[in-house]
Structure 1
Amino acid sequence: MRHMITVATCALNQWALDFDGNLERILTSIRVAKERRASIRTGPELEITGYGCQDHFYEGDTYRHAWEVMAHILATKECHDILLDLGMPVMHKGVHYNCRVVALNGRILLIRPKIHLANDGNYRELRWFAPWSKRRTIEDYYLPMVIRNIDGQEKVPFGDAIIATYDTSVGIELCEELFAPHSPHIDMFLDGVEIITNSSGSHHELRKLNRRIDLLNEATLRNGGAYAYANQQGCDGDRLYYDGCALISVNGAVIAQGSQFSLNDVEVVTATFDLDDIRSFRGASNSACMQAASSPAYPRIDAAISLSQVSIGSNRYLAPSPPREVRYHSASEEISLGPACWLWDYLRRSNMTGYFLPLSGGLDSCSSAIVVHSMCRLAVDAIERGNQQVLLDARRMCGHAPDSDFVPGSAQELASHLFHTCFMGTTNSSTETRQRAKDLAGAIGAYHLNIDMDTVVQAVVAVFTHFTGKAPKYEVHGGSTVENLALQNIQARLRMVLAYMFAQLLPWTRSKKGSLLVLGSSNVDECLRGYMTKYDCSSADLNPIGGISKLDLRKFLQFYRDEHCFPILDQFLQATPSAELVPSSGSYVQSDEDEMGMTYDELSTFGTLRKVFKCGPVSMFNKLLHEWGPSFAPSEIAIKVKRFFFYYAINRHKMTTLTPAYHAESYSPDDNRFDLRPFLYNVRWSWQFRSIDELAAKLEKVD
């Protein structure tokens, strides 16, 4: 006789303040969990309100509506006969908490507030919530009238406790608590808890998933037990994409894994394990037993349910889910999938009818275009697999009625409705870039325009000349540096103006309703260096590649070329990156790396040291001495570091107007969101640069 438990964990595409939609997705997940005979269900962090409400967590309405949704769930008989772990904000004694609410058969058993709050990088939980500091302590929480009216329940335990069922015990963690040095699951496992649920609102970042899975497996390997991890999935209204990947681990091995990137609104992951396996695993560790014997006890909240099914009779074929190999995506696959899912969610939820991209013929705008193609490909694949929500969204955005027979047969067909591109050329543009843009648009199915904007540029310059009596010239024609820069910037800024005009009116010219969202295409390295014009065509509604380095974008295009048979991408990979904003003269051809005074490889290194390793000028110089020492003299490294910090400082103000970009990299320059640094610097860095020069001189003197 074996005691088998089936658990369900979810990845839900919740949306901040979308109480109707969030409720429907929660109810669907509970229904699916019960159909799969799960006896316990957990979902994402703050799933009732959506994780990304931000300052709406200050508002009383947010808490009021959350309780109304909770009341609906409790009163729904379909939600009975399963232990529910649900997420919502709760105000207790005038303090806001990020909570899990555990319920069974229409009654709340426990409200468990979050103990360790996420408050770094993209997260500001301490702005809205307080951590629960009373470990292993519970208090009475008096329920609002909307809950009392269901069956008269007046109060419920609030605090740090565990759920005791007839056959086992369940503990709760919330997202950041798994990452804390002393995670709550350690003490709960030692006090006999055999199942931990973790509700998370964890965003996608390149190469991040392995850490999450390593921590989860380590938790159950060291202590024994089952760990069910839930996560939000999709874009809930901000720059982040929550990447799902619901997981279940038992005794150090993953036995179930959900998708990391998906257009599904609801994904329920279930797995079955044997309680006796957990108990045997724990009993075999003498040191664990000794620590457990002296572990302080948690308050226990009784739950009148048995989570296990005895595997005899009709259940004799119920077997534990075997360990499985964890599925990791390469960084290039992540770029192909994450931003594409983010763009789909944003487009369908914004009620716009498509995207518009200024397609320059360079690698960056090509990368943005390929992300949109990936979005269309994912949508068509989802439709072919029977996803009705994606089909309904596609029909609406393409201008068809919900009950029409329109079904896009390919990514190109869908793109022909949703994606609009335009090459905005001047006399400085080469025929090669113009043709590359046209060929790429044709390959991905975009509606493409090829325009010349010289008359617009000339008109603006003529206005300036008329009122000042001065005619600015390019440097190659004898002009000064400031004239040269002004003539480049006006081209870039006029492209932004034209982009928004075309985005607003192109659907009208095609007898379609609505307007388009403008996409940008500046990468994370150029933003750090400030190699971009403020309010140029990189200024847009969204930027799918704004958090991705140039090196990763190159690898992404190489991957997409090989994986999806796009030989046209070779042209972009082989081209020299150039803004093409000045006339070519003799052997001179404008080059991004030459103008920046540094390579994209160097920029990626500077960004990582600046943001991830928290290096100032001197510590960056010291680190690069070891990394670049074999190739460069100390004085050369000093010049490179000082050049980076000079341009970083003078261009930092540009980050205040940065287009909202998909967050993908740990050195994102996103101002006042991820990067909380000033934008007015002493660009001379006199003390710091003097220290670098002194160190370089000493080192070279020794050599």
Structure 2
Amino acid sequence: MHLVRVAAAALNQTPLDWDGNQARILEAIRLARRQGVAVLCLPELCIPGYGCEDAFFSRGTILESWRVLQELLPETKGIVVALGLPIMHRAANYNAVCLVADGHIVGLVGKRFLAGDGIHYEPRWFKGWPAGKFVQWEHDGHSYPLGDQIFEVGGLRIGFEICEDAWVPNRPGVELASQGVDVICNPSASHFAFGKHEVRKQIVLNASRSFRATYVYSNFIGNEAGRVIYDGECMIASSGHLVAEGPRLGYGDVYLTSAVVDVDLARMVHARTTYAPTVDDNVRRITRFDMKLPTADLPPHTVAPDDALRNDKREEFSRAVALGLFDYLRKSRSRGFVVSLSGGADSAAVAYLVHLMVTLATQELGVEATCARLGLPEGACTTPRAIVRALLTCVYQATANSSDTTRNAARAVAEAVGAEFLEFDVEPLVRAYVRTVEGAIGRELGWKSDDIALQNIQARARAPGVWLLANLRGALLLATSNRSEAAVGYATMDGDTCGGLSPIAGIDKAFLRQWLRWVEHEGPAGVGPTPALRAVNVQAPTAELRPAGAKQTDEDDLMPYPILDVIERAAIRDKLAPKEVYRVLASRFPEHGRAQLLLWIKRFFRLWSQNQWKRERYAPSFHLDDENLDPKTWCRFPILSGGFARELAELENVVPREG
């Protein structure tokens, strides 16, 4: 029996935060040493941060990463650590992992398969390491083994798959298994997306089962660079069994997940399989380093938390956005949030998520530590509610078309979440703008002739006041537009879209309304319901920009939100033509006739094409779904286009008439 403890660490890093990133790496190494860890796997590009983007083109970034690595070497005495950093070889950048053991650099491995889809742009900055290639890398007056290799340290064989390497059919693990690798480390930067946990888990389990090895998977945690949230999931599997699993979506900086594995037992399991081994070392070079690894004195055991919430989209949404807000607030050095609270669903959701952020953070960290992380004065650190009060200001901005229903709902939500509540009367500003323009153009404006313009000026008149308030308080103004509105441009630029961050722009309105009802009646686990949201949930969504007699609702202006979202998925995610979208709708919503479905399809495609410029101007939003509308992280579309004119003109002829 040969027992060793292996570990993966989740780190909350920040791009180019050299001192902070180094401190968190050191904390992980010291935690691992105290637990008797022999091999520690840290996340991909953990030294500079994964989200450095075009800063990877800077030689300064490459050199500083290497300098930090050198400073970390003395801290690795008696332990083996995998550290991610960018390197340059023959005028090409590579995403690499450096294996360090007992204070020495043993060698480096380059990532073979680069992530270049969705939110990922790795091929822009790096080259994929060619399969089977090995060189002696000359750097800084020294020579280091670089390339496809297996490391044998203290008799333990260690190999690497770097993030995307594990998501492709011809993954490097096949070669590693053929040479009897004991431990495969996967340093990853695997972003959060709904339901991704199960996919990731199966990749790790299947790899450990197929390769008959111990598989150690590390990841980032938190909002690293602004848009992308990492859930921090770390896993250790051995011979097809999950033996350790770390927490997800936590508020700490460092989480260590470790497990004791029996290397001899794994080798015997490998020997009993029909996997064809290689009998020499010609497939991959073996780089050896002699050191005595720490031995574990505990028997192998399974540690896999039973988390029934992992597949609940409502829970994932709640916790991912709350964590994203927490890190965005502290990393941007803002002193709080301002929300223009309309009394409707979207702004209520944003205000509640700030409240949830504080609730979850204080549950894990405690009140004082939460205040310290957010840079709040000690006087604000008495209760979670006091923290919310110090951080969140909600403003209801009334015009002549505002109702007591929305005013009362806004007040009820603000009181329920513990925010400061203010009211602005912006009707005098709206009238002043209207009179100014009427005087200049020589006519009165009216609802029959100037409907959209009169709606928009109300939304825009609300922007300067909340911007001023946010500036006065050093706070971050949160925009409140959702994904469904973004799809069809149902938002006023420089009005309800104004803000420095748009936290719900990645989620559709139909889900958001369902989620708010769930929060009203049930709420996140360990938090409970928020009954005050009933004042919002009983309303039909409305912009409330036309006179009350118009009885304006969003769905009358557009279409039912569930239908809008189905069209969006079919047209934008699945790239279906209008006639194909019709077939999808006709099968999903047979209760609506041909004429009605055609009207909604035409409206969607026209509005989508006309409003790309709005989506380009949205404040940064969180990436929650791997098929979203953010032109900077997934969906690119021309600002100027033909607008599907031919396809829509043909739609009437292609779709058979009823009866």
Q: Shorter-normalised TM-score: what interval? A: over 0.9
Q: Hey, what does 2:44 align to over in structure 1?
A: 45
Supply the distance in 1 between the matched residues of 2:380 and 2:2 (Cα, whole angstroms).
47
Closer, same or farther in 2 for the Cα pair 1:294/1:612, shift >3 Å? farther
Counterpart CA distance in 1 for 2:631 and 2:501 is 15
1:211 CA displacement:
1.0
8 Å contact 1:612–1:666 — kept in the other structure? no
**Shift in alpha-carbon separation, 1:71–1:552, aligned structure 2, 3 A:** same
Instruction: State the distance in 2 between where 1:80 and 1:332 align.
Output: 44
1:566 to 1:164, Cα distance in 2 relative to 1, 3 A:
same
Deviation at 1:625, TM superposition (A): 4.2
| Cα distance, 1:379–1:408 mapped onto 2, change above 3 Å | farther
Given the alignment of the two structures, is residue 112 of structure 1 paired with residue 109 of structure 2, yes or no?
Answer: yes
Alignment of 1:162-241 (within 5 A): 162-241=150-229
Answering whether residue 557 of structure 2 is matched by residue 580 of structure 1, we say no
- SS of the counterpart of 1:692? helix
| Shift of residue 680, structure 1, vs aligned partner | 1.2
Following the alignment from structure 1 to structure 2, what is the Cα–Cα distance between the partners of residues 323 and 107?
A: 32
The one of 620, 623, 626 equivalent to 1:663 is 623
Work out which of the residue numbers 585, 598, 601 in structure 2 matches 1:641: 601
Where in structure 1 are there 5+ consecutive unaligned residues?
A: 146-153, 401-405, 508-514
Counterpart CA distance in 2 for 1:326 and 1:674 is 33
- Residues 115-168 of structure 1: per-residue CA shift (max 9 Å, x gap): 0001111111111111111x22210111225xxxxxxxx211111111113433
1:235, 1:242 within 8 Å by CA — same for their partners in 2?
yes
Alpha-carbon distance between aligned partners in 2 of 1:547 and 1:294, rounded to the nearest angstrom: 51
Match of 1:551 among 506, 510, 513: 510
Q: 2:566 aligns with which of 605, 617, 623?
A: 605
1:568 and 2:501 are equivalent in the alignment: no
Which residue, 458, 462, 483 being the options, matches 1:491? 458
Contact 2:27 2:254 in 1 (8 A): yes
**1:14 counterpart = 2:13:** yes
Preserved CA contact (<8 Å) 1:191 1:296? no
Q: Kindly tell me: are residues 407 and 270 of structure 1, through their superposed partners in 2, closer, same or farther at Cα, counting changes over 3 Å?
A: farther
Correspondence for 2:291? 305
Cα pair distance change 1:652/1:275, threshold 3 Å:
same
Q: In structure 2, what is the Cα distance between the partners aligned to 1:686 and 1:694?
A: 14
Show the counterpart of 1:403.
Answer: none
User: 1:376: Cα distance to partner?
Assistant: 1.0
Task: Give runs of aligned pairs for residues 243-262 of structure 1, distance below 5 A.
Answer: 243-262=231-250
Q: Corresponding residue for 1:460? A: 433
- In 1, distance between residues paired with 2:211 and 2:279? 14
Q: Which position in structure 2 is the counterpart of 1:144?
A: 140
User: How far apart are 1:427 and its partner, in Å?
Assistant: 1.3
Give the structure 1 partner of residue 328 of structure 2: 346
In 2, are the aligned partners of 1:254 and 1:326 still within 8 Å (CA)?
Answer: no
Paired with 1:465 and 1:583, the residues of 2 have a C-alpha distance of 19
In structure 1, the partner of 2:552 is 590
1:11·1:232 contact (CA, 8 Å) conserved in 2? yes
Matches within 5 A, 1:263-282: 263-282=251-270
Partner Cα separation in structure 1 for residue 623 and residue 553 of structure 2? 27
Pair 303,495 (structure 1): closer, same or farther in 2 beyond 3 Å = same
Which letter maps to 1:428? N
- CA-CA distance at 1:283 after TM superposition: 3.0
SS at match of 2:161: strand
Which residue in 1 is equivalent to 2:120?
A: 123
Report the alpha carbon displacement of residue 307 of structure 1 after superposing the two structures with TM. Answer: 4.4
3-state secondary structure, aligned to 2:638: coil
- The amino acid of 2:289's aligned partner reads A
Q: So what's the TM-score if we normalise by structure 2?
A: 0.95
Q: Distance in 2 between matches of 1:460 and 1:574?
A: 33
Which moved further from structure 2: 53-62 or 180-189?
180-189
Partner of 1:429: 402
* CA distance in structure 2 between the partners assigned to 1:108 and 1:547 by the alignment: 42
Counterpart of 1:512 in structure 2 is none
Aligned counterparts of 1:35 and 1:604: Cα–Cα separation in 2:
51
TM-score (normalizing by structure 1): 0.89
CA distance in 2 between partners of 1:58 and 1:523 (Å): 34
CA distance in 2, matches of 1:595, 1:635: 17
Counterpart amino acid of residue 269 in structure 2:
F
Counterpart amino acid of residue 72 in structure 1:
E
8 Å CA contact 2:167, 2:203 repeated in 1 = yes
> 1:640 & 1:391 partners in 2: Cα distance?
49
Secondary structure of 2:529's aligned partner: coil
Contact 2:245 2:303 in 1 (8 A): no
Q: Provide the aligned C-alpha RMSD in A.
A: 2.0
Q: Which residue of 1 aligns with 2:484?
A: 525
Structure 1 residue 297 displacement after superposition: 2.0
User: How far did 1:434 drift?
Assistant: 0.3
Q: Distance in 2 between matches of 1:693 and 1:267?
A: 58
Indicate the residue corresponding to 1:150 in structure 2. Answer: none
The alpha carbon displacement at 1:616 in A equals: 3.3
* 1:27 aligned partner: 26
Specify the SS of the correspondent of 2:16.
coil
Of 429, 432, 443, 2:416 maps to 443
Cα deviations by residue, 1:496-520 (Å, 9 ceiling, x for unpaired): 2221011122x3xxxxxxx111001
> For residues 438 and 650 of structure 2, what CA distance do their matches in structure 1 show?
46
Deviation track 1:344-383 (CA, whole Å, cap 9, x = no partner) reads 1111122221000000000110110111001111222233
SS at match of 2:328: helix
Shift of 1:306: 4.9
For residue 538 of structure 1, give the secondary structure of its aligned residue in structure 2: coil
SS of 1:255's equivalent in the other structure is: strand
Matches within 5 A, 1:351-362: 351-362=333-344
AA at the equivalent of 2:414: A
Q: CA deviation at 1:220?
A: 1.4
C-alpha separation in 2, matches of 1:487 and 1:451:
19
Inter-CA distance 296–578: structure 2 relative to 1 (3 Å threshold): farther
How far apart are the structure 2 equivalents of 1:107 and 1:37? Answer: 19
Q: Distance in 2 between matches of 1:190 and 1:632?
A: 58
Percent identity reads 30
Output the amino acid matched with 2:561.
Y
1:86 aligns with 2:87: no
Contact 1:174 1:199 (8 Å CA) reproduced: yes
Residue 548 of structure 2: SS of its match in structure 1?
coil
Q: Is contact 1:89–1:96 with CA below 8 Å preserved after alignment?
A: yes
Distance 1:672 1:567 in 2: 37
Distance 1:293 1:523 in 2: 58
Unaligned runs of 5+ in 2: none
